[in-house]
Structure 1
């Protein structure tokens, strides 16, 4: 499709105008209600040999360690599993250099409880229970589930502290953990209802211990920025997702944007492949370029293709 000046919403001429925004890409739609889209609702293409590795992890109740370059679909795999197996909303733990195991298990707001207790005493009211100040994190919520297993996405574990993988070992092996603040309560408070990572949901904790009945589906992603200890790797099923080739790229574009998108692919896939060095371009950048062309954007405009298909490595 040949682009025209009509696609330019912003013109940089200082003139105020009211414009109608075009439809957003499917992966950038944030509509509310039942129609809200999510990454688990988009087509996820995976080769049979890779799907078999996922199935092995499901049967063995072992964490799935997914590696690959950015944009190969590591995080989306967790949503695809949750969608296909109807396991509900994915619990996500985005790991960074400050992440700790306790962040993923639970948090106790001691300061908030003290402040509220003083306020209620001053008003002659009964103090709120401790459960109102304990919130399970994504890992804690996944372990506290009482029905079908939940899907837990541990995103970019290699960005965490070097000791974090080892800290996870005991929890993954035993499937339980203790909340000391609840374990110290008297016998008459042996059961406490606490908040969870699911909005508006609570979980019942007995004598300060959270024990899983069904081990969650744990998907751990890594960009391969560092190695993990052997003891951790031994307890995981490993899956390495390769960069898609030209045929797979065409299938991905067609699955996300429909067969009509094939007319807009010519030249863009080759430009993508010519620019792509290992780890330097992500598949969603190609989808962005195709979507723009389908909507009349002139991808030959000066600097536009370079802006959309910019390399992920190096300095900006």
Structure 2
């Protein structure tokens, strides 16, 4: 039995992902044995992340395209103006579908594919091996002391962890992919297409050590990797965010489901404020009107409005300075709005 939509955009967590429709024949993955997802509460150990997930307000378009990405087992490429909820979306999906902690990779101009898959520190291993030899010489300790194996100096990155054979999709946020080196989107293509990768250091050691217990991203948990090869079972729900600062190669774009989040309209904006700060009073409605008026002349982010409203509610705040401070907090972030297609 399958249901549509799987993700509904509501606040109530449910097990609908267990009824996810079958993937297309060209997006079937058979990695195993299946791993259980980390506990749901581990994903929201930080109060701010729980708040972000529970207060996100999805649009009908975002609900539709999230479901398309889930069914097609394709990454979701999310663009939009600052404060439109690009990075909050994966937290909301993880919370509703009970998919555990969100893995996060914050991309910079120096980011590489390998760091997203795994990190290996050969120098630390060399030092550990040297200490082991010295200890054996000094104390007569046998070979194979703790800390001298490859697995003790290797840790999976966020993408590498997401591609483990979990029984349900892990959620991965690849934030600000447009800040990457020009080659990174193309470097990602094969891994995202095949849903698998190798760790050469473990592949080379497989003749003598066929399995390794390696730490995953975001926790001290270890998983068993067989002969250095990782292949997903349930393709992860991957959200790549972009501020629209660059164009991506056609080969990369056609492998993603595109979602353009537009600037919230008045009703959507009121729903967002209500979710964060409760029912709207007259002062809050006035601040929203002020925000909408200012946003017609330049780029503003929703969190600027939330900051202004929150300060206006602080007891003892002087009303005569309220508008002046709100104007400072709502400083335009970029060129005039007419140059944007949002």
Which of residues 309, 312, 315 is equivalent to 2:333? 312
CA gap 1:41/1:237 in 2 versus in 1, 3 angstroms: closer
TM-score calculated relative to the size of structure 1? 0.84
| Aligned-residue offset at 1:35 | 8.1
The reply on whether 1:221 has 2:241 as its aligned counterpart is: yes
Aligned to 2:117: 105
Per-residue displacement from partner, 1:233-284 (whole Å, max 9, x unpaired)? 100000101101122111111111111x433313211221222158721001
Aligned to 1:59: 71
Aligned to 1:10: none
The reply on whether 1:150 has 2:170 as its aligned counterpart is: yes
Which of residues 297, 303, 317 is equivalent to 1:284? 303
| Aligned-residue offset at 1:130 | 1.2
| Residue-pair matches, total | 281
- Give the Cα–Cα distance (whole angstroms) in 2 for the partners of residues 137 and 146 of structure 1: 15
- Give the Cα–Cα distance (whole angstroms) in 2 for the partners of residues 121 and 102 of structure 1: 31
- Give the Cα–Cα distance (whole angstroms) in 1 for the partners of residues 115 and 183 of structure 2: 14
CA gap 1:120/1:257 in 2 versus in 1, 3 angstroms: same
Aligned to 1:79: 91
TM-score calculated relative to the size of structure 2? 0.78
CA gap 1:86/1:40 in 2 versus in 1, 3 angstroms: farther
| Aligned-residue offset at 1:42 | 2.8
> RMSD between aligned alpha carbons?
1.9
User: Secondary structure at 2:321's aligned position in 1?
Assistant: coil
Unaligned runs of 5+ in 1: 1-32
Which of residues 163, 180, 183 is equivalent to 1:160? 180
Moved over 6 A (4+): none
- Give the Cα–Cα distance (whole angstroms) in 1 for the partners of residues 106 and 221 of structure 2: 21
User: Secondary structure at 1:70's aligned position in 2?
Assistant: coil
| Aligned-residue offset at 1:300 | 4.0
